[in-house]
Amino acid sequence: MAEKRSKGREKSKTALSRRSFLTAAGSGAAATVLLNVSPIAQGKTFNPDLIRPPGSLTENDFLTKCVRCGQCMKVCPTNAIHPTTLEAGLAGIWSPFLVMEVGYCEYNCTLCCQVCPTGAIEELTVEEKQQVHIGTAYIDRSRCLPFVFDTPCIVCEEHCPTPKKAIWFEDVTVRDRDGNEKLLKQPHVDPELCIGCGICVVKCPINDPAAIRVTSGGETRNPANQFLLSTSPYG
């Protein structure tokens, strides 16, 4: 009898009290609600710097699957995939995003899709992956050599990996400071063709920052994240 009572006491010592159980459960629920109070989490805005690996699910689905293991970061051969700190909100801490100042998404590579353990990044074939837009490049005409420095440069177009190049040239004749005529090729991005791989950013001879940059606008996984609004948000 005495032993039975002492066993009961022992059990109540290690068992979680109802109060602590409910507190923990309530904290989990409260954290979910609090961390979703942000325009990004609710899909009202998109972070232009949050470029997810190719094959990533829609942002909300992605965050329900990503376990922040970092395998995509380890396997990426160009060191392009990094852990977020607050780029994806606090709820998305340490999830993967591409930093194109460091690396770019290699056209013929699907390694991150292959190693994702939970399917947050879908396993795509190389052909499928090459159709996925992870973002779109745009040219900064206030920094680009042929636009402001009257200097010939075709680096971005040369590296552009899509079969029909997403970067095309307009031949223009300009006058430099001394009044001499110059024939220049000024680059343009075709957003229909650009997959946002970012190799143009890495290779651009202008640094701090590059004269061509990639934002997440136009990404395949979020049809709502377009830089050209097809309709007004106010209907």
Contact positions vs other proteins (CB under 8 A): 3, 6-7, 10, 13-14, 16, 20-21, 23-29, 31-33, 35-36, 60-61, 63-71, 73-75, 77, 79, 82-85, 91, 93-94, 99, 102, 108-111, 114-119, 126
Residue with Cβ nearer other proteins (22 or 148): 22
Least Å from the CB of residue 63 to other proteins: 6
Residue with Cβ nearer other proteins (10 or 170): 10
Under 8 Å between Cβ of 168 and 157: yes
Least Å from the CB of residue 126 to other proteins: 6
Tell me the three state secondary structure of residue 127.
helix
Least Å from the CB of residue 210 to other proteins: 17
Q: How far is CA 96 from CA 8, 57, 137, 189, in A?
A: 48, 12, 20, 26
Least Å from the CB of residue 136 to other proteins: 21
Q: Where are the beta strands (DSSP E) in the chain?
A: 81-83, 96-98, 136-139, 167-175, 181-189, 212-215
Least Å from the CB of residue 94 to other proteins: 6
Q: Where are the beta strands (DSSP E) in 102-166?
A: 136-139
Residue with Cβ nearer other proteins (121 or 139): 121
The residue among 90, 113, 98, 121 whose CA lies nearest residue 50 is: 98
Cis before 209 (ω within 30): yes
The residue among 108, 109, 107, 115 whose CA lies nearest residue 96 is: 115
Residue with Cβ nearer other proteins (15 or 224): 15
Residue with Cβ nearer other proteins (10 or 192): 10
Residue with Cβ nearer other proteins (9 or 177): 9
Residue with Cβ nearer other proteins (71 or 186): 71
Structure tokens at 149: 């420095």
Rounded to whole angstroms, the Cα distance separating 108 from 221 reads 19
Amino acid (one-letter) located at 142? S
214 pairs with which residues across the strands? 137
Least Å from the CB of residue 34 to other proteins: 10
Least Å from the CB of residue 37 to other proteins: 12
